[in-house]
Amino acid sequence: MKLPKIDWKKIDGLVPAIVQDASTRQVLMLGYMNEAALKKTLASKKVTFFSRSKQRLWTKGESSKNFLRVVSVEVDCDNDTLLVLAHPAGPTCHRGTVSCFGDGALAGGAGFLAHLDQVVAARIKSGDKSSYTVRLVQEGVARCAQKVGEEGVETALAAMQKDNKEFAGEAADLLYHLIVLLHAKKRTLGDAIAVLEKRHAPKK
C-alpha cells in the first residue's frame, strides 16, 4: 500500500483515523496516527496508532491479540483524516464489545448482511445442535439447496400478492438460507459479492 498524501502540519503531526470493519462497514473505533504510526500500519498490515496518553506508537491488539488487520487506507479530500478498512480479530473495544461505540452500532442496510454472514459462520463453527443453522448444515448441501429452492418459490409467490410485509419476510428467509448454503459449500457471502463487484467494475 502506498503512503497517502497527508497534511501533517495542519493538526500538529497527528491525524484522526476512523476504523471500519471491511466486511460490515461498522465503525469500530477512532484513533490518531502520526507519520510513523501510519508507516507501521502499512508495513505490518496491523492498525497502529500514536497513543496520546502513553506518548508512543501503539498497535491495536498488542495486549489482547485482537488485532485490526488492514485492508485499505484512504485519505479524505482535505488530506487530514484517514479511513481505515480492517478485519477485526476479536472485540475492538477494551470493554469486550465489537465496537468502541457499543454493540448497538451495527451497520445497517447491506452491511447487516455481512454481519449475518459472520453470525452464520460462528454458529456453524460452534457445532451447537440447538441452533437451526447448525442442524441444517449438518443435514448436507442437498438439504440446504432444497431450502433455498423452497424459499425462492415462496418469495416468488408472495411477490404476486398484495401483502408486501409477507413478501419482505419471505425475501428475508431466502437471503438467510442462501447465506447458509454458501457456508455449506465452504463459501461466504463475500465470494458472491466479489463476483458482482467484478461484473460491475468500470471497463478499462
Are both 73 and 131 inside the same structural domain? no
Rounded Cα gap, residues 34 and 49, in angstroms: 7
Verify that 50 and 102 share a domain, yes or no. Answer: yes
Per-residue pLDDT band for 171 (boundaries 50, 70, 90) equals: very high
Residues 115, 83 share a domain: no
89 and 23 co-located in one domain: yes
Same domain, 137 and 103: no
Residues 18 and 77 in one domain: yes
CATH code, domain with 86? 3.10.20.810
Same domain, 70 and 96: yes
Q: Please tell me whether residues 148 and 99 are part of one structural domain.
A: no
pLDDT tens for 128-152 read 999 999 999 999 999 999 999 999 9
Q: pLDDT digits over 183-192, tens only?
A: 999 999 989 9
- Domain end among 46, 75, 107: 107
* pLDDT for the residue numbered 104: 59
pLDDT at residue 154 above 80?
A: yes
Give the residue carrying C-alpha cell 500514536: 50
- 101 & 120 share domain: no
For 166, residues 6+ apart whose C-beta sits below 8 A from its C-beta are 158
Q: In what order do the strands lie in the sheet with 15-21?
A: 27-33, 15-21, 82-88, 68-75
- The stretch 148-166 carries a mean pLDDT of 96
User: Across the chain, how many H-helices and E-strands are there?
Assistant: 6, 6
Average pLDDT of the residues of the chain? 92
In this prediction, residue 105 carries a pLDDT of: 58
Reported as a single tens digit per residue, the pLDDT across 13-70 is 899 999 999 988 889 999 999 999 999 999 999 999 999 999 999 999 999 999 999 9
Owning domain of residue 99: 1-107
C-alpha cell at 86: 480492517
- Looking only at the bridges linking them, the beta strands covering 48-51 and 56-59 are antiparallel
What's the confidence (pLDDT) of residue 10? 77
Distance CA 158, CA 163 (A): 7
- Cβ(155)–Cβ(163) under 8 Å? no
When divided into structural domains, the chain yields a total of 2
Domain boundary among 79, 107, 135: 107
Say what the pTM is: 0.71
Looking at residue 106, what is its pLDDT? 66
**In terms of domains, do 72 and 46 share one?**
yes
Residue where one domain finishes, among candidates 87, 107, 127:
107
For the chain, how many residues are written? 204
Domain co-membership, 10 together with 102: yes
Q: How many CB atoms lie within 10 A of CB 90?
A: 12
Q: Is residue 43 within 8 Å of 101, Cβ to Cβ?
A: no
Question: Do 152 and 98 fall within a single domain?
Answer: no
Q: Tell me: the pLDDT tens digits for 60-112?
A: 999 999 999 999 999 999 889 999 999 999 889 988 888 898 765 566 777 88
* 150/11: higher pLDDT: 150
Here the CATH number for the domain that contains residue 196 is: 1.10.287.1080
